[in-house]
Structure 1
Amino acid sequence: MRHFLLLLLLFGITATAQEQNKTPEIKLTGFSHPESIIFDEGTAYFYVSNMADKAEGDGFISRISRKWQEQEHNWITGLNDPKGLLINGDRLYVTDVTNIVEMDLHTGEIIRRIPVEGAKSLNDPAIDEEGNIFFSDLVGNSIYKMNQAGEVEQWLNNTDLERPNGLFVTPDNILVASWGENQNGNILKVDRGTKEISKITGNGIGNMDGIQSAATGTYYISDWATGNIYSIDMQGNLTKEFTSEKSSGDILYLKNDKKMYLPMNHQNEVWIYNMK
């Protein structure tokens, strides 16, 4: 053990029991292949997309109260394969295969289904400061953009996106957590002005899924294939925070209480980790 610790010090490697053995403090049950989770301060509810069994119309959205007293698992029904979630004002949006579904955040009513021409498998949404919503298309190697009028365009189509999954909009870039195609995916950035794609990581990490802001210039990212949760900065410095299990999807991090929420697709649960 002494020689092992010496090697860690010599090579600048740090390891703690907490990082190696972090376990969820809460496991919420009752979901059906959950993919994404989001929280709204105004309503004080969490919203979870459930892909279910991929039969037509069996997908749904769950609504869970802040302290878990209210759990409406089938709050919005009649979806096909819902994935990424986003809240804009009093509207809740979810990607549903080749459609964007707009719902009333308070009543759960489906307002409209917006078809996205040319889309193959829409995934994660992200919003900019002007209210434009960007959506990844993992299978189509594309990013789509919808303006406030609900008009949709293919913003970027490029195999260098490496099958884009998670998106995060910054003032200058769109950060992309890529799934990878015939190789491990990377964390990328796309210049919002020039649409130039560059890699933040270069060697491939895994099947990257969710991306959330951890602090200024630092982000939490999830690897669906391994369950690894990393933090990364814009220089590509990567730190493994902890490992959950395979199928950790589109994560949520709440800075105020320093909690990480993982929709666990295969386990049909949402796992909550304390990041303090």
Structure 2
Amino acid sequence: MKQIYNLLFLVFGIFTINAQTTVVTTGTTNPYRLSLSGNDLYISEFNSGIISKLDITAPLPTTKSNVITGLNRPMGIVATGNYIYVAEHFGNKISRIDISAPTATMSTVISGLNNPTGLAIKGDELYYAETGSNSIFKINLTDAVPTAVLVANAFNAPYGIFFKNDILYIAEFSGNKVSTLDVASGATTGTDFITDFNSPIDLTINGNTLYVAEYTANKVSKVDILAAVPTKEDLVSGVQTPIGLAANTSEVYIAEFDANKISKYNLPTLSADGFVLSKSLQLYPNPSSNFIKVSNMEKALNYTVYNSLGQQVLKGKVEKNESIDIQNLSSDLYLFKLEDGNTLKFIKK
């Protein structure tokens, strides 16, 4: 076991920042929205009326394959289980594609809509945005004949929507902002989250990081949604009319509308070189499975914990001689960064 821990420290110590934009495929026609399901990335191709997919584990650049054709300007797309739900913007309807059989089939879920755009699923309910009415609606997917229920209105061109727990994040294209809506509270209007975007058209969340496609700025931004004062930062610039996003723990996939391609941004892993390791402070017990303490502390300090992928997994404030509960963390090697600049390593068994 000791050899394994030593190996983990060695591997962790040589991690480097790996952040670059890579072409995934160039074979799409005006790709609009993306949805990840396992290793499959589904793509709505706006002008060609196609839903296509590609395997994100295939060597790059890869070739996409068509799932189904004949849609009327498909925009929002969300894949779940054996189904893909698609907002047909000019068709004013939401369609469902059954991908359980070798040949996909399509049926109408609800019609008579007003230019539907973004889609998001929460439980048995499908939420959709309409730019024609500047509203958010929902339907229950278990109903034999789903009926639209108004959730909230008074948005300014809502194009992209995404859930984080009960909070629906909404990209308001003409409002140049991202707003939020707590669907559990019964609120009927959104709350401004960040208001200085440049034509935000889609968004996605992985962990506690919000990624936003800024269409006319040709860039993708990121926001820590748990920050006391959420502030946007550039993730990647120089992408051509980014219009759709999908993310997992290691990559952000970007639909570049005018470039007719899908690219990806490799999220950075931690580099131990970027931290000043403390010699005076220590974490104990280390390794540990239940809790850790910081020795030789003189005052309370804020801390942040990062896993071996560089993802923030824990944050808080620790007092002198206080125990920090790590029972819910996975077995891994972690960096424990204090606000005074000290950084320590520990292993969760």
Q: TM-score range by the shorter chain?
A: 0.7 to 0.9
2:136 counterpart (139, 143, 149): 143
TM-score, with structure 1 as normaliser: 0.79
1:221 has 2:212 as partner: yes
1:100 has 2:94 as partner: yes
Q: Deviations over 1:43-81 (max 9, x none)?
A: x322111012xxxxx400112123336734433111110
Give the whole-Å Cα distance in 2 for the aligned partners of 1:178 and 1:134: 16
* Cα distance change on mapping 1:25 and 1:102 into 2, 3 Å: same
Give the whole-Å Cα distance in 1 for the aligned partners of 2:236 and 2:55: 26
AA aligned opposite 1:138 = T
1:190 counterpart (181, 196, 200): 181
Q: How many residues align?
A: 240
TM-score, with structure 2 as normaliser: 0.64
Kept after mapping to 2: 8 A contact 1:32/1:51: yes
Q: Partner of 1:6 in structure 2?
A: none
Give the whole-Å Cα distance in 2 for the aligned partners of 1:221 and 1:34: 17
Pairwise CA distance, 1:172: 3.0
Q: Partner of 2:283 in structure 1?
A: none
Kept after mapping to 2: 8 A contact 1:144/1:152: no
Q: Partner of 2:339 in structure 1?
A: none
1:248 has 2:242 as partner: yes
Q: Partner of 1:39 in structure 2?
A: 36
Pairwise CA distance, 1:27: 4.0
Pairwise CA distance, 1:157: 4.8
Pairwise CA distance, 1:227: 1.7
AA aligned opposite 1:92 = I
The root-mean-square deviation of aligned C-alpha atoms, in Å, is 2.2
AA aligned opposite 1:25 = T
AA aligned opposite 1:197 = G
Give the whole-Å Cα distance in 2 for the aligned partners of 1:152 and 1:247: 34
Give the whole-Å Cα distance in 1 for the aligned partners of 2:23 and 2:52: 17
Kept after mapping to 1: 8 A contact 2:240/2:259: no
Note the 1:45-64 alignment, pairs <5 A. Answer: 45-52=40-47, 58-64=48-54
Structure 1 unaligned regions, length at least 5? 1-17, 53-57
Q: Partner of 2:151 in structure 1?
A: 156
1:78 has 2:70 as partner: yes
Give the whole-Å Cα distance in 2 for the aligned partners of 1:176 and 1:34: 20
Give the whole-Å Cα distance in 2 for the aligned partners of 1:121 and 1:221: 22
Pairwise CA distance, 1:236: 2.8
Give the whole-Å Cα distance in 2 for the aligned partners of 1:156 and 1:116: 18
Q: Deviations over 1:91-134 (max 9, x none)?
A: 111111211110112335233113333x2221111111x22110
AA aligned opposite 1:64 = L
Q: Partner of 1:116 in structure 2?
A: 111
Q: Partner of 1:270 in structure 2?
A: 262
Give the whole-Å Cα distance in 1 for the aligned partners of 2:132 and 2:198: 16
